[in-house]
Structure 1
Amino acid sequence: MISPKIKVLFSILALACFSLPVFAQQNNKFQVIAYFFGSPEQAEKVPAEKLTHIIFSFCHLKGNKLNVDNAGDTATIKSLVGLKKQNPQLKVILSLGGWGGCETCSDVFSSAAARTEFAESVKQLNNYFGTDGIDLDWEYPAIEGLPGHKFGPQDKPNFTALVTELRRVLGKKQEISFATGGFQKCLEESIDWKNVMPQVNYVNLMSYDLVNGYSMVTGHHTGLYSVPQLKESADNGVSYLLKQGVPAGKIIVGSAFYGRMFEGVENVNNGLFQSGKFKQGISYAQIREQMPNQTDFVYHWDDLAKAPYLYSAEKKLFITYDDKRSIEYKTQYVIDKKLGGIMFWEIEEDAPTDGLLDVIVNVKKNGSSLK
């Protein structure tokens, strides 16, 4: 006969065994986060049922306060919030900054009083719109972003203080995330990972633009893995964050719904890792719809980086981008590593049907068929 004490012990163990997988599942929920940079009419057509978050891009500073720039942006935010009728679980987040959109951040966030004023303004806007939090897209604390914008070593502790004040003012229910550059200098010098990450929901790793508008050599701007010629990659960024003790479930891997075109690229190694000059950005929708008609462009796949590229020897043009195959690899990578999810810039650049978002949703649901 089993004693009452043993029965109680068995009950506790059974409850623990039952509870742990549920807890793990909740912590490992796969987030699908879309940045949105479009009109109110475009906002109404966003497939909300496929997303967990949508981040309005961008609000800016007006004095010390978070500011919605104009009536059009106000209408857009309201349209995005209206998507909750389709998906009640959807989180709509306001974003500060963007590339070149944080000119006064270094000065403003150096003051405790200004940080409090900013945090209070975030709370007021979230209450007004019914939005769910703030994404800080300061490019970048403590290192150079857009040439001419102020930065300095004091930005790093000031960013930590900003996040601390936001959490105090917003409480636990509002989400706080931030975008960080996926390149090594930013990862090492911009953020105090130990003190920032316990206070935020996610870090959106911008594992794109790793070859950018200032680059003079072609390469994979959003490769999954590093290659001998290019250390910067999604995996390099994720590996660094994990070594810093960042919880895997808080890391969101970035993907690009656009490509970067370089010109003046000689026909060596099919244009990859060659001298060139950035020409323009090009949406995935344009790449998929227009490139097949331009027969001089040849598709290539780098199996080490898990990244596609296009090259025209005739026009000396090179395009680095994400396609359905690379997105499938990235999404499965997130699942395998038990990361927080995947985000992308920018949903309006996806193909209108059977696009990259559909690949993410399918792999999230069914897993990848790629080996």
Structure 2
Amino acid sequence: MTTDLENLLPSQETPVEYVTTKDGTVAKQPSVCVKTKKKIKLKKKSTKGNWINSIASFILEQELDGVEIVYRWPETSEDRKNFALFVRELRYKFARVEKIAKRKVPYIISIYSPTYNWATKDVSLLDDIRNYVDFFNVETDNFYAPYHKNNIMTGPLSPLYSLGNDDKSIDRTMEKYTCKTMKPSQLNIILSFGGVHWENVHKSSAEPDDIHFYVRGRDYSGYHFSWRYLKFFGFDLNKASFHDVAKTPYIWDKNHQSFVTFENERSLEEKMEYILSKNLGGVAIDRIDKDDDSHTLLNAVTSMNMCSGPKFAEDEIKYNCEKL
């Protein structure tokens, strides 16, 4: 083993260093998954280098195949520039580690990507980092979330298609990402093994169907739940309907003003077929432990033969990008 590789091998605890703008101090966590609402600012080259070295060390220690980077709020041009620089340097570090460790398969870098703003024409972030990452895991599992404080309406958590001019759907989102990157093989859809229960929602003649309800000005409430606890919360699957456009199951209880949106075997199979038809990269699953002990939803996903679909050329575009 070379000296360079020995320097990468971690101690029993692998710290991750980051600097927050609150007081400029460096905080250390024994994990590469650092979650903070504060803006991350990599001030010094040594700090950024330590962070990258920590990630590389953690991967070697745990014998992992790669990392997913979650940074949802690079708001300013400086934020985006720093983020792109970090991703590029992480890729270079991985390449050096692969060579030293004689790894035959490159490490994977995936980027957790928000639904809309990265795919707009005036944001260059995707262009700046796409040559250094393997996949963009696009946030397609959270279009209508109860913790969004400025909700105007409820809706299905992960609709496959939109109704009318509504852009909140997997189809509209992946179309924008594909036409922005022109590399559908880099794009993964995020699947959720759960759902959301909304209470105190009201339907009026303004809503087009039984899956959208205006909640502005109402004292509504809602919470996420796992598939494994669907029956625990008392939801009767016999009362569930399946929306032909959104391709998602739901339960609307008019008497109790209750709306439940969730994934099931059929909705996940619809999404897998969509991935095949659009020549996309694949899927990322948000917490497999939300599934039941029989792996009902995971089996629905893995039962689809991803090599059996239409034969497209690599990165052949299956969207009409001229209209965007």
When normalised by structure 1's length, the TM-score is 0.65
Deviations 1:171-196 (A, max 9, x none): 162221111112x2343377611121
Q: Which residue of 2 aligns with 1:306?
A: 247
**Counterpart selection for 1:153 from 68, 77, 82:** 77
**Counterpart selection for 1:165 from 77, 80, 89:** 89
Residue 87 of structure 2 aligns with an amino acid whose one-letter code is V
**Counterpart selection for 1:236 from 172, 190, 193:** 172
Unaligned runs of 5+ in 1: 1-58, 70-94, 143-151
Residue-pair matches, total: 269
Give the Cα separation in 1 of the matches to 2:237 and 2:178. Answer: 42
127 and 294 in structure 1: CA distance in 2 versus 1, 3 angstrom threshold: closer
Give the Cα separation in 1 of the matches to 2:247 and 2:159. Answer: 6
Is the contact between residue 216 and residue 278 of structure 1 (CA under 8 Å) also seen in structure 2? no
Q: Which residue of 2 aligns with 1:262?
A: 198
Give the Cα separation in 2 of the matches to 1:315 and 1:263. Answer: 8
Identity within the alignment, %: 18
Residue 104 of structure 1: how far off its partner (Å) = 4.6
Is the contact between residue 66 and residue 122 of structure 1 (CA under 8 Å) also seen in structure 2? no
Q: Which residue of 2 aligns with 1:24?
A: none
Give the Cα separation in 2 of the matches to 1:186 and 1:327. Answer: 25
181 and 67 in structure 1: CA distance in 2 versus 1, 3 angstrom threshold: same
Residue 189 of structure 2 aligns with an amino acid whose one-letter code is V
**Counterpart selection for 2:142 from 209, 214, 227:** 209
Q: Which residue of 2 aligns with 1:280?
A: 223
Q: Which residue of 2 aligns with 1:197?
A: 130
**Counterpart selection for 1:96 from 30, 33, 39:** 33
SS of 1:156's equivalent in the other structure is helix
SS of 1:332's equivalent in the other structure is helix
Is the contact between residue 141 and residue 156 of structure 1 (CA under 8 Å) also seen in structure 2? yes
Q: Which residue of 2 aligns with 1:123?
A: 56
111 and 141 in structure 1: CA distance in 2 versus 1, 3 angstrom threshold: farther
134 and 289 in structure 1: CA distance in 2 versus 1, 3 angstrom threshold: same
Deviations 1:33-76 (A, max 9, x none): xxxxxxxxxxxxxxxxxxxxxxxxxx97555687335xxxxxxx
Q: Which residue of 2 aligns with 1:351?
A: 292
Deviations 1:127-181 (A, max 9, x none): 2222222211112221xxxxxxxxx331111111110010111116222111111
The farther-off stretch of 169-178 and 330-339 is 169-178
Q: Which residue of 2 aligns with 1:29?
A: none
Give the Cα separation in 1 of the matches to 2:304 and 2:196. Answer: 25
Residue 96 of structure 1: how far off its partner (Å) = 3.0
Q: Which residue of 2 aligns with 1:334?
A: 275
Is the contact between residue 159 and residue 191 of structure 1 (CA under 8 Å) also seen in structure 2? no
Residue 220 of structure 1: how far off its partner (Å) = 1.6
SS of 2:260's equivalent in the other structure is strand
Residue 36 of structure 2 aligns with an amino acid whose one-letter code is C
SS of 2:60's equivalent in the other structure is helix
Q: Which residue of 2 aligns with 1:140?
A: 73
Q: Which residue of 2 aligns with 1:175?
A: 108
Residue 292 of structure 1: how far off its partner (Å) = 5.3
Is the contact between residue 261 and residue 279 of structure 1 (CA under 8 Å) also seen in structure 2? yes
318 and 123 in structure 1: CA distance in 2 versus 1, 3 angstrom threshold: same
Q: Which residue of 2 aligns with 1:107?
A: 41
Residue 246 of structure 1: how far off its partner (Å) = 4.1
Is the contact between residue 302 and residue 308 of structure 1 (CA under 8 Å) also seen in structure 2? yes
316 and 229 in structure 1: CA distance in 2 versus 1, 3 angstrom threshold: farther
Give the Cα separation in 1 of the matches to 2:27 and 2:276. Answer: 38
Give the Cα separation in 1 of the matches to 2:227 and 2:211. Answer: 20
Is the contact between residue 227 and residue 304 of structure 1 (CA under 8 Å) also seen in structure 2? yes
Give the structure with the larger helix fraction.
1
Give the Cα separation in 1 of the matches to 2:37 and 2:203. Answer: 40
Residue 303 of structure 1: how far off its partner (Å) = 1.3
Q: What's the RMSD between the two structures over aligned residues? A: 2.7
Residue 123 of structure 1: how far off its partner (Å) = 0.9
Residue 245 of structure 1: how far off its partner (Å) = 2.4
Q: Which residue of 2 aligns with 1:223?
A: 159
Is the contact between residue 234 and residue 254 of structure 1 (CA under 8 Å) also seen in structure 2? no
309 and 179 in structure 1: CA distance in 2 versus 1, 3 angstrom threshold: same
Residue 112 of structure 1: how far off its partner (Å) = 4.0
Residue 111 of structure 1: how far off its partner (Å) = 4.5
Unaligned runs of 5+ in 2: 1-14, 20-25, 99-105, 310-324
Give the Cα separation in 2 of the matches to 1:209 and 1:249. Answer: 22
Give the Cα separation in 2 of the matches to 1:67 and 1:234. Answer: 34
